[in-house]
Structure 1
Amino acid sequence: MSLIAPPLALYIHMPWCVKKCPYCDFNSHGLRSEPPPYADYINHLLADLDADRADFAAALEGRPVISIFFGGGTPSLFSPELIDRLLDGVRERLPLVDNAEITLETNPGTVEHGRFDGYLAAGVNRISFGVQSFDDDKLRRLGRIHSSDEAEAAVKSAQDAGYANINLDLMYALPQQTLAGALTDVARAVALQPTHISHYQLTLEPNTAFAANPPPLPDDDHAWAMQEACEAHLADAGYGQYEISAYALPDRRCTHNLNYWRFGDYLGIGAGAHGKLSDTGTGQVHRRWKTRHPRAYLEAAGGATRIGGDSVVSPAELPFEYMLNALRLIDGVPMADFAERTGLPAERIAAVLTADCQRGWLHDDPQRLRTTTLGQRFLNDVIASFLD
């Protein structure tokens, strides 16, 4: 088998936030007394992109970018003028498809009135708000810097500016949260009429403040009850679940995240950013990640020391890597995609597929790879079954 180049996206990491949340294990750094060098960072992002383009010229040739995602940290700390300059630089270096999806993650506590007009003019056509909850007590427990009223005002401000594609991030199974509380959060989110809702369980990640001092969280059974009830509420409101934690109105699924889950390719620029590229010439899947700390990244000035690591995904690891993404999709993926995007024959995973079907984790469908309801609940076990 040979690799077929999948769609290509671009991820841009903005590493600063106002304050580090106790549950967060992302590469984010709270603001200190001296403001971050925002303008200088934009220059380094473009230098980073130039260097990656040179290193992967053959793999990138003739491939347009379908989506751009500004993640963090809090990208909305960067002014619309800086985002505009960066996007202009990206367009000069990479071809974009018409109407490419361009998402900016936003903290409701960092936006200023009128800034959404500037982001929209710069080309950002999708806003993702990190709301997490509409319960002010829960927001305080999560270390968030905004209130529920501020979250609602920020969403309405973006809508007034002309944004028609908005995502809200919500968590459930929060400290001492009840089923009624989780449903209230979903109801308040739906009332704002976003096009997309990401609804995911709070988990205790290593090396976070919550991991060191765990708050009182609902047990697994209560968390599962919240997930099922909230999923039903979202479905009744017209939000179809298409991934374990993603719900969207018709035709509003997130292009960027779908590309991840379908084992697509993406360049990653910025401190700690990860990228994945398929080289059809060599038949290899290549991963690259950048040095994590903003200071070290800036000091690299687009040079080789900006790279935190490079690796080629071995054939033994490819089935697990592929399933880690694809099995999150509720509708699954065509079975043929496995061979096209890994370069491995489907026979490579035949025995595991048979075993997982017998366990009731996967549908017995030779044309489509898809988890059952039971498989979705025990997704980590299903994915682990593909470890070599």
Structure 2
Amino acid sequence: MNLPPLSLYIHIPWCIKKCPYCDFNSHAVKGDTPERAYIEALLQDLAQDLATYAISRPVNSIFIGGGTPSLFSPESFGRLLDGIACQVPLADAVEITLEANPGTFESHKFAEFRSLGINRLSIGVQSFQDGLLAKLGRVHSSKEAIRAVEIAHRAGFDNINLDLMFGLPGASASCSQEDLQVAIDLEPGHISFYQLTLEPNTYFHKFPPVLPDDEAVFLIQKAGQKLLAGCGYQQYEISAYSQTGHECRHNLNYWQFGDYLGIGAGAHGKITGALPGQIMRTHKPKSPEQYLQDSHANGGADAVTLGDLPLEFVMNHLRLRKGFSVAHYQAMTGLDPRTLEPALSGCMAQGLIDYGHGRYFCSPKGWDFLNTVLQNFVA
């Protein structure tokens, strides 16, 4: 059996300040972060996963997310990357992404991060307008954001992603267009353009701000898509736009139902054993304190049931503009294509899914109402 490609996700759970919209496993720094101990725990965590799942495949991409990973020192990441390379083979030209915030403290480390082999930077800008940044609880200014991207370019990063939100409290359609134009002028290879949503267990969910109505948000999104396309940024996933050759390989592996190890507090993973009955979803303890105290008891794993596999597959693949082929469905799940029925035929009859060149993919209507599409595949 040919196993899926393998990636590695690493979670750094600390940040300077918890943003009111953030539902990630992140915790505001109180005093010094336990960098050295956490790096060692990550390496123990990786060793345990490699042994548990008998993994010897090369890692094709590494994504260091958070939190704000760039709070850690280059020395800590050097120790981490060296330790990873000693435990598992890395593919040639492995993509290594680091999430970073635009604050001065973090951006002045960019050249050192690049020297370690980190070759992709994802900068959480969200907006280039100070009033909107304040409403989002961000700790950087628009000038710092622009400066950070300029520093990243000078540090040798030719693969940069900028995160931008739309549908912000008090924002008009022109605000998003202005944000996008500033981002485009900074010449990143990749832009993530996504809607602010009020997630459970966040401050904004408990105390919701006034947001633009659904129709306004829809028009903002369409206008943004048009501007990005006109400037050479192709939408290859619902919220991801890239210039040719700058698609995020790590995220593509998620969306194409590849495998990934997840290490760190609150990290999740997906590992394929024998098909179709041995696809595991792994999870690690969310509490950084618990994670550090007992790095040998890192969470657990749950098997994806055969009834849930079709939904698990399509909820990733249908985020991609090019969709999926039946052959890839069989290879990744081990299931007969008939297990996609009657949901697949029903979505095609409703004009939500199209078929062409041997692939099923969301129609423009289906992409706008993806949750409706996915409801058809719920077991």
TM-score normalised per structure 2:
0.98
Do the aligned partners of 1:182 and 1:226 also contact (CA within 8 Å) in 2? Answer: yes
Q: How far off is 1:339 after superposition?
A: 1.2
Q: What's 1:13 paired with? A: 11
Q: How far off is 1:327 after superposition?
A: 0.6
Q: How far off is 1:281 after superposition?
A: 7.0
Task: Flag the 1:113–1:263 CA change in 2: closer, same or farther, 3 A.
Answer: closer
Do the aligned partners of 1:114 and 1:161 also contact (CA within 8 Å) in 2? Answer: no
Q: What's 2:25 paired with? A: 27
Q: What's 1:188 paired with? A: 182
Equivalent in 95, 113, 117 of residue 123 of structure 1: 117
Do the aligned partners of 1:77 and 1:110 also contact (CA within 8 Å) in 2? Answer: no
Equivalent in 313, 333, 340 of residue 349 of structure 1: 340
Do the aligned partners of 2:354 and 2:360 also contact (CA within 8 Å) in 1? Answer: yes
Do the aligned partners of 1:76 and 1:110 also contact (CA within 8 Å) in 2? Answer: no
Instruction: Tell me how far apart the structure 2 counterparts of residues 364 and 332 of structure 1 sit (CA, whole Å).
Output: 9
Q: What's 1:54 paired with? A: 51
Instruction: Tell me how far apart the structure 2 counterparts of residues 111 and 367 of structure 1 sit (CA, whole Å).
Output: 49
Aligned residue for 1:370, secondary structure, equals strand
The aligned runs of 1:223-242 (5 Å cut-off) are 223-242=217-236
Q: Write the letter of the residue equivalent to 1:88.
A: D
Instruction: Tell me how far apart the structure 2 counterparts of residues 20 and 323 of structure 1 sit (CA, whole Å).
Output: 32
Q: Write the letter of the residue equivalent to 2:7.
A: A
Do the aligned partners of 1:335 and 1:366 also contact (CA within 8 Å) in 2? Answer: no
Equivalent in 33, 36, 44 of residue 36 of structure 1: 33
How big is the alpha-carbon RMSD for the aligned residues of Structure 1 and Structure 2? Answer: 1.2
TM-score normalised per structure 1:
0.96
Do the aligned partners of 2:192 and 2:241 also contact (CA within 8 Å) in 1? Answer: yes
1:254 corresponds to 2:248: yes
Equivalent in 303, 307, 324 of residue 296 of structure 2: 303
Identity across aligned pairs (percent)?
50
Do the aligned partners of 1:333 and 1:368 also contact (CA within 8 Å) in 2? Answer: yes
Instruction: Tell me how far apart the structure 2 counterparts of residues 44 and 112 of structure 1 sit (CA, whole Å).
Output: 23
Do the aligned partners of 1:336 and 1:367 also contact (CA within 8 Å) in 2? Answer: no
The aligned runs of 1:28-107 (5 Å cut-off) are 28-32=26-30, 34-57=31-54, 60-61=55-56, 63-107=57-101
**Relative contact order (alpha carbons < 8 A, sep ≥ 6): 1 or 2 greater?**
1
Q: How far off is 1:284 after superposition?
A: 1.2
Instruction: Tell me how far apart the structure 2 counterparts of residues 11 and 113 of structure 1 sit (CA, whole Å).
Output: 22
Q: How far off is 1:253 after superposition?
A: 0.3
1:360 corresponds to 2:351: yes
Q: Write the letter of the residue equivalent to 2:97.
A: T
Equivalent in 264, 268, 283 of residue 262 of structure 2: 268
Aligned residue for 1:280, secondary structure, equals coil
